[in-house]
Structure formats: structure tokens, C-alpha cells
Structure 1
């Protein structure tokens, strides 16, 4: 299969909201795009825009040198790819898996691909569907660098930035998990804050400008904390763990006075108190990462 044909054609498996966005971006860039979804009918709009709807997953992967997969998880990926005749049709072709799951599942899929002669790249999408095809999109990838470079022209059709994080296949998923950890922990904190504020007669709209202010102070804190975590310095100057414990206790008490579940903050407070009990009360909050990492 020629390099030219590989770079002018692409198959997309999975037409949920993100899959449709990916396929639409490929179509808009003029790539010959073949699409398939287990549930029929989701390809209608894409076909009207110029995509080709495949009647089966085998037909879809056989239509292009590279197949981009975006399904709900790797169980769904296995259900499509790890069965004949699809596995046979993929031999010698490239799969770029943008499905979100764990690093261990990425490694397992890469091992399966190698056993069956399938060229494999793993990746993750770090921005919403609305960013796909625009400069705001962010993609991360891991796996063989030469394979990544070979298919970068196709990936660039998705817009935004693409970063190759290394040849170890699980690195993209590991970044994804760590970054989603930040996002969902922050969102859990925000919705809890909205509940506490409402109980005190403060509307979400009134709180929002001040909540954004909290968000604005985090980037420099992240940078400083990263240096401490990598160096093992854990300076608590100005804001030791003992201070954090005190403010967390205030949050727990106020929440529970209003009958609001404070389980998440209680867990964080408990971890901080454990650090104090181990003699780290004067250290910075990032010391907790070390405690969490101990087995």
C-alpha cells in the first residue's frame, strides 16, 4: 500500500459524539473517510457530508491503511477488533486507538496487535468534541515514533496539537488518567462548594467569579509543586500541612452542619492528618503524594 494512499484515506470505528467529530474533521480535510458503528444509522450525517458508510467492521478496516478507533472503553475495542474476520483484515495495517482506558489495557492491546501483525499506536483526546478540527484540540500519543511520524499527516487533519510522549505504549493513557484525576477531583470539589454555598444563601452565579479566581492561582502552584515532588523538597514554608488540616476541618464542619455529605473532604483531611501523625506537619501539601504512593 503506497504512502500516498495511506495519507489520503482513513477509517473511523465508533460514531459516538467524539467519533463523529473525528470523522467529520477528516471529511472536512478532504480525506477519503470510511466510517462504521455497531449501532446502525449514526453515519447518516457523515455520509451526507461525503464519508463512506461501511456495512461491517471488516469492510471498514479494509478500506484504509489506517483505522482510528474511538469507543467507550477497551472492552468495546476488543469486541470489535479481536475477532475474525476483522483481525485478519487489520494485518499489516495501522490502528490508532484514541479510546480512553487504563495504561495496562493499552499495553495488553499493543501486545495483541504485535501478535497479529497489526501496527499499533495508542493515544488520548484531552479536549471536548467541540474543539476537534480546531486549533484548540489537544491529542497525546505513545508508541513507535516512526509509526507516529508516518501517520502524523492524517492526525493533523484533526486540528490542534499532537504530542508524542514516548515509545512506551502506556504513556498516553497514563497521562490521560493523571490529568482526568485532576479534572474530576476539581469538579467534585466545585459541585460540593456549590452545595455548601447554596446552603449558606449564596447562588452559584455569585460564587462563580471567586471560584474562577481560585482556578487562576493553581497554575503557578502546580509548577512549584511539580518541582517539590520531583526533588523531594516538600517545603511547607507559608502553608504547612497543619494549616491545611485546619481549613479542611472547617469545610467538613460547615458541610455537616447543613447535612451535606463531606466524605470526599473527610478523606482528604484524614490523609493530611496521617501525614501530620508521621511527623510531616511542617511539610508542604505535596508530601501527601509520597504517602499515597507507598504500598
Structure 2
């Protein structure tokens, strides 16, 4: 695709929330001719001061860039913005960095292709202040050739740029799966702080123990992942039957201190169910079978 007054790709960023502004700022700082557009005006002032051009219309924005980055509220918003200007998409590459589900990404990839546009989908695993950092991870899916063509441009946004699959839906799948780990960890952290807080232990006092323990917990994940891939759950650390009493202690302690016990009770029920099915001597990796679709 042609560029404008430079050997760097001309980029358009549609959507100027906190993330959109961070994306546009990173491209401009790296010397890419950058055009922005937002449905609600008035969000581009700082970007304009740094040399970014603000398009008057969505059509103008699409025409200005060979690489179109959309980062808006949801996939419905992407369609609402691009459908009226779909005729201008032909020959351009659409990179959608809007959060959503894998089926939405696949559908949008098909829609873009129908209108002559190349398509990449991405999941940003970082908050706006981290855009451009060497360790910022952004996961991409879609045409490997298109990704290779634009990889250097995309590395402006984060050093952890990774192409996962030709399937445009895979980044969204990874995104929600990783967020599930985050929220699960956060909730368990809050539960632990509520427990120790009943003895007036400050959250900051307990924090070093929690973060150190997370490192230990992470060390188990490699073994479990290998067991799950093999479908063999022979315990190398602790059996399910040995884990049942400790989780019972956690449930008891939570009730005794008036702390919500939903999380440990759920875990206890999972272990009990697996033991009842004859898997008392298996590792915790066996619990994957509860979550798999075939187990429902």
C-alpha cells in the first residue's frame, strides 16, 4: 500500500477512547503518518498538537490510511461505523483491536473480506499507559502474510507482538481465557485479604506473602499443562484426596470468621465430585474434565 510522505505506513485510528488515543500517539511518535477519527468530536486535541491529523468524517479517515485500526466499544459499534463507508475498504487492511468474542471476530473477518479488505484481529493484553512498552503483549490472528507485511509497524504498539493463528477468532479466545485467570486470581486474593483482615492484618502487610506464593503456584502449572495434554493425571505433587482436607479447613475458617466462602466451597465441591468418580489419587489437573464440554 502507498504511504504518505514517508516510507512508514500511513495509519488511521478510529476510536479515541483512552486506548485509541494511546495507539494513535504511539504510531505518531514512531513517525507514521497518523489520521484519527472519533464519533464524538473533541478528543483529538493533544494528538493534533503532536502532528496527528483529525479526519472530518469516517470516510475521510478510511481513505487516509492503508492500515485501519479500529478500537471502539464493541463489534456492533465497528459495524455501525464502517458499514456506511464499506466501499472505501477495498484494498486496505483492517485491524480490529476492539474487545469481543471469537465468533464476532470471525464474522467481521468475513464481512471485511466481502468488501475487499484484508483483516487482522488483535487482543491487547495491557492498559493504555503500557502501549509501546517492550513487554506489552498484543495477540494477533488472521492472514499470516498480512501480519508479516505489517509486523514492524505493529511492533510500535508493543514488543510482545505475537501472531497466533490464521483464524481471526483465536486472539479473542486467548483474551477471555487469560482474563479469566486474572479475575479468578483477583477474587481469590480478595478472599485471602478478607480472611487475614479479620485479624487486622493490612493488605500491604500480606501482599509479599501472596506474590511469593503465586510464584510457587505458577510452578505447578507446567506439570498440569503437560498432564492435560497427555490426558494422564498421575499425581506428582499432591493427590486430590490429600487436597480435600486443606480446602475443608479454608471453608471452615471462612465461615468461622464471617467471610464469604463461595470460592472455597466451589473448589471443595469440584474435588469431592472428582473423588466420587474414582479419581482420588489423581492430581488437580483432573479437574479440567469438569470444565470440558463433554463433562456437562
Q: Same fold (TM over 0.5)?
A: yes
Count of residues paired in the alignment = 293
Residue 107 of structure 1: CA displacement? 1.0
1:66-123 alpha-carbon deviations (Å, 9 max, x no partner): 1111123223222222x21x22221221111112211111111111112222210011
Corresponding residue for 1:251? 250
Q: After the TM superposition, which parts of structure 1 deviate over 6 Å for at least 4 consecutive aligned residues?
A: 3-6
TM-score by length of 2: 0.93
Give the alignment of 1:269-288 within 5 angstroms.
Answer: 269-288=268-287
- What are the within-5 Å matches in structure 2 for residues 67-216 of structure 1? 67-81=68-82, 83-84=83-84, 86-216=85-215
The equivalent of 2:59 in structure 1 is 58
Q: What is the SS of the residue equivalent to 2:277?
A: helix
Q: Tell me the residue number matched to 1:228.
A: 227
- Measured in 2, the distance between the counterparts of 1:141 and 1:6 equals 24
Deviations 1:31-50 (A, max 9, x none): 11111122221111111111
Instruction: Name 1:23's counterpart in structure 2.
Output: 24
User: In the TM superposition, what are the counterparts of 1:1-12 in structure 2 within 5 Å?
Assistant: 1-2=1-2, 7-12=8-13
* Partners of 1:156 and 1:140 in 2: CA distance: 11
Q: Which runs of 5+ in 1 are unaligned?
A: none
Determine helix, strand or coil for the equivalent of 1:286: helix
TM-superposed CA distance for 1:6, in Å, is: 8.5
SS state of the match for residue 242, structure 1? Answer: helix
TM-score computed with the length of structure 1 as normaliser? 0.93
Map of 1:35 onto structure 2 = 36
SS in 1 for 2:278: helix
| CA RMSD between the two structures | 1.8
Q: Is the 8 A contact 1:6 1:64 kept in 2?
A: no
Preserved CA contact (<8 Å) 1:10 1:68: yes
Counterpart contact for 1:6–1:66, Cα < 8 Å: no
Per mean C-alpha deviation after superposition, the further-off stretch among 104-113 and 255-264 is 255-264
CA distance in 1, matches of 2:200, 2:207: 14
The answer (yes or no) to whether the contact 2:105–2:168 under 8 Å persists in 1 is yes
